[in-house]
A and B are shown apart, each in its own frame.
Chain A
Amino acid sequence: MMEFMGYRRADGTVGTRNYVGVISAVVCVNEVVEAIVRQVQGTARFTHHQGCCQTPLDIGRVNQTLIGLGRNPNLHSVIVVSLGCESTDISKVTESIRASGKRVEHIVVQEVGGAARTTAQGILLAQEMVREASLQQRELFPISELVMGMKCGSSDTTSGLVPNPAIGVASDLLVSAGGTSILGEVTEFIGAEHILARHAANDQVADGIFKLVERMEVRAMAVGEDIRGGQPTGGNIKGGLTTIEEKSLGAIAKAGSAPIQAVYEYGERPAVRGLVVMDSPGREPEILTGLAAAGCNVITFATGRGAPQGFPFVPVLKITGSRTAAEKMSDHIDMNLSAVIDGGDTIPDAGRRILEELANIASGSMTKAEISGYTNSMDIYMLGPVI
């Protein structure tokens, strides 16, 4: 059984990192959060553009997402920064995170008296909390404690040929060891949902997959546009992907062959182990946030042309099957599997190496995205308009 060194949390989950999270309750305080995090090592921020002037449905989603992020096992403790007049339900957010057994502090810019004073107070508080977090030691855990998010971005033809099926193998191995993997990117199920539904553990799950795809497709069509304007993206087309169906068939290879146990809403924490599906769009800021809110402690990310984004407090392992991307985007790519193309490597071997690398990353080995700090352009997936 493979193992990794992680951080034990009070609610039974296991962290692969040990940050003090500084979370914006609303877009208006992002600059305070940035200023605090800039000054204190050992913190990670989550900033976004939501939390005010939105429909109740979306505000509910902001609340749930912030709760999920705060409860993510990679955060030791949390500071929530709010403005004071936002729509986000701050007491619900802070109480729900606190219920997981973490220390949660809350600072309000309009009460403290402006950005400068709040920043100073936040810095002092964060320093004290980082000191407390740094006392915790890593312990040995089986890889069944990994919750792996899966994503592909800046795809080209090689994504569907190499890294996606290799991630599928890694996911199968993780699931058979008792772990959890989460497949998102519902936009990229379009045209391949019938294949994915064949993997469903039961009819209810299959039905859930079809409903998610229908909802996504109807939403895109409701604006009277051709979804092809946005999917596949211009970069995908330049890379040789012609239709959303083609992109989807390559994308769902990440699902591997394990049965899909359940279907969840965006950012919802799985109640079961094994392979599950989560509603989410394909764009990086929103899906990475959704996976983190669902409790992922590692994320695998297949790329064809070379996508740079990581996530502020969840390590994102970048994997490519393109020799060109591995060379040209070397400061963003962690694993180069391009030897599979010529037949010098195989998908099953590559998949096993991905799982081994995940165990290393989970134990503290840093990803390129973490080293470069290219992790902060995040957002929450919204359904309605800004009003």
Chain B
Amino acid sequence: MMKKTNLREVEKRTYMSYHQDGLIDIFVGIYVLLFGLGILLMTVTDFSTWFVIPAIFPAIMIPIWISAKKRITMPRIGYVKFGSRGANKLMAVLVGLMVFGLGTFMVFSFSSSQGWALSLRNLIISNGMIIIGVAAASISSLFAYTMGLKRLYAYGLLTLVLFLTGHFITIPFGYFLVTIGLVIVINGFVLLIRFIRKYPLPQGDEANVEKTF
């Protein structure tokens, strides 16, 4: 009974159950995949499309994701509105990441005049794949911890392993992103199919229960 009434556990379980549909994986995976394809396309066509893709993707995909959530998830497992606590935690993580990004940008900006920044910049460039891999794995783990979605740890580990491999093997950067994106998208679809099978649409009387209550 004590285990069942552990509030934090119940909160995590509730959050996880709402994201077991794999939709978040599909959309994040497509984002990474398109980003990778954009970089590859840029090397072939010499056109900076990869700047356009990350910029317009959220504007297009977030409404589609919300709509998919309403059409696929809600009719099957119902609707839940989470409190502001979770959103605040997520916002804190995003602000932290923005500060980190700004710090990195400053290092690159000052690198022409400051000695320490220049050496840090050179260190980042010479170990780019390792640093990006560690950063991506850390960000993924941070989101996994904040959101309680354990599969994000696996995505982080996959990113780390691939990018560490990339430090020693000379393969265009875009291929790594395409691989990671594909794995995430495929896993998302597997989760979605499993979710649809596990929670079929309520039929007949079952669908009318809410009205009688």
Q: Does B bind A?
A: no
